[in-house]
Amino acid sequence: MSRICQITGKKVMVGNHVSHSKRRTKRKFYPNLLTKKFYFEEEDRWITLKVSVSAIRTINKIGLKAALENAKEKGYINKY
């Protein structure tokens, strides 16, 4: 499974590592992803998602069902 958040769509970004002498080499910035289980009350079951920490805050704020519907609408997740 790739390093993409299933709720927010965050993924690996590419940038430069800059040394003291200002020499630039390519590097990657990885999202802060966790594999977490959520209880989906509407269907009375557990769902395992690979989410970023900011997505966990979003789920706490707007709820799991609304977050899953937004992710499905934006194309980050196919089914849940």
Cα pseudo-dihedral 63, 58, 6, 79, rounded to 10: 20
Residue 3 lies inside a defined structural domain of this protein: no
Element (H, E) at 37: strand 33-40
- Beta-sheet pairing, 13-18 with 33-40: unpaired
Nearest in space to 28 (alpha carbons), one of 36, 16, 20, 40: 16
**Segments forming the whole domain that contains residue 21:** 13-74
Residue 4 lies inside a defined structural domain of this protein: no
**Rounded-to-integer distance, Cα 57 and Cα 63, Å:** 10
pLDDT confidence of residue 22: 97
Per residue in 3-52, pLDDT tens? 999 999 999 999 999 999 999 999 999 999 999 999 999 999 999 999 99
- Beta-sheet pairing, 13-18 with 24-29: antiparallel
* CATH number for the domain harbouring residue 25: 2.30.170.40
